[in-house]
Amino acid sequence: MDSRLTKIVEQFSTSGSAVKFDPINTGHINSTYRVTCADENGTESAYTLQKINKYVFKQPELVMENICAVTDFLRNKIALAGGDTTRETLSVVPTADGKTFYMDEEEEYWRLYTYIDNASTYDSVENPIHLKNAGYAFGRFQTQLADFPIEKLHDTIPNFHNTRKRFDDFFAGVEADVCGRVKNALPEIEILKKFRHLSGFLLEKQEAGILPLRVTHNDTKYNNILIDDATNDALCVIDLDTVMPGLAAYDFGDAIRFAANTAAEDETDLSKVKLDLDLYECFTSGFVSAIAGFLGDEEIKLLPYGALLMTLEVGSRFLLDYLEGDKYFRIHRPEHNLERARTQLTLALDMERHFDEMNEIVRKYL
């Protein structure tokens, strides 16, 4: 057992001492472990330990302030609705001195959550009802936070979903070519050039007052929903690091580009990469049913643009990270970020081909 991790867990107010660590390898950003603790009677309890990625999150203290503010707010909403506050939102475990994080001797930031048992995350859709319920859960997340004081949220990653700036940053990175890798990505760069004129489309709607800022999750991948193993219900939205003010269409879109893809996010056989319209409709039906009466009709009508733009944005971010030496996203092989980018951009081209159908499905549920 890792003595360093044991020492870190000892800083938190757990029930017992750590006896086992199991790495959790999903996610691109933070290092995560399932920790089993046992008290003097042998009674076990489980926790989720995470090291916060300081390269991505420059001010981890503000990330934790956002998370605690949102989870406390959600806990009150869940309690008022008669829900289970231990399973339907994350619960931060404080340190022995009452802080929400621990900074170790290497100035790394660590946090601990209670572990939610008998629930699973999925990297691909094994049961369509899971996806519909996930859509409902992400929509419910927005409605539950409808009256959260948005001005209290810190902008922990400025311009995180500023698609216009993301494209500008990408092409600046192409121009700089700091690692000499542009020559390996010329077809992908051309695809992003083709779509560059759309990069500010939703931002222009926001600037015109058509799309309001909401409290949004901003990383709505399918595997950021815990599904109850017994009931198949979507229990809990997890990975709240990027909860910030944003556009509802981007939350919808990020979920679609991940869950309605017929292939894995890093599939190397691009012939397998397509938009599954059945899965798209499945998620849409759940999401719209949760936000009906909360989002305006114009916001709902523009949801398909969120799907296309988020797919392009994430593709540009994977590709820029590859061009700059793989500093942001964790990789498991030398061209991993390039492969991820190719998958996203192939999916974006397929969305373009099916865009009329995507609009028709949204209108059906509107």
Q: How far apart are CA 218 and CA 48, in angstroms?
A: 21
CB atoms within 10 A of CB 42: 8
Q: What is the pLDDT of residues 208-235, one digit of tens each?
A: 999 999 999 999 999 999 999 999 999 9
> 153, 69 in Cβ contact below 8 A?
yes
Q: Residue 290: name the closest of 251, 261, 254 by CA.
A: 251
- Return the pLDDT at 51: 94
Q: How far apart are CA 54 and CA 60, in angstroms?
A: 7
Q: What is the pLDDT of residues 233-282, one digit of tens each?
A: 999 999 999 999 999 999 999 999 999 999 999 999 999 999 999 999 99
Q: What is the pLDDT of residues 141-172, one digit of tens each?
A: 999 999 999 999 999 998 999 999 999 999 99
Q: What is the pLDDT of residues 313-346, one digit of tens each?
A: 999 999 999 999 998 888 999 999 999 999 999 9
Q: What is the pLDDT of residues 31-40, one digit of tens each?
A: 899 999 999 9
Q: What is the pLDDT of residues 184-212, one digit of tens each?
A: 999 999 999 999 999 999 999 999 999 99
The model's confidence at residue 292, banded by pLDDT at 50, 70 and 90, is confident
- Report pTM: 0.91
Residue 214, φ and ψ in degrees, nearest 5: -125, 165
- Return the pLDDT at 27: 57
> 188, 337 in Cβ contact below 8 A?
no
Percent of the chain with pLDDT over 70: 98
Q: Residue with structure tokens 């800022």?
A: 213
Q: Is the pLDDT of residue 127 over 70?
A: yes
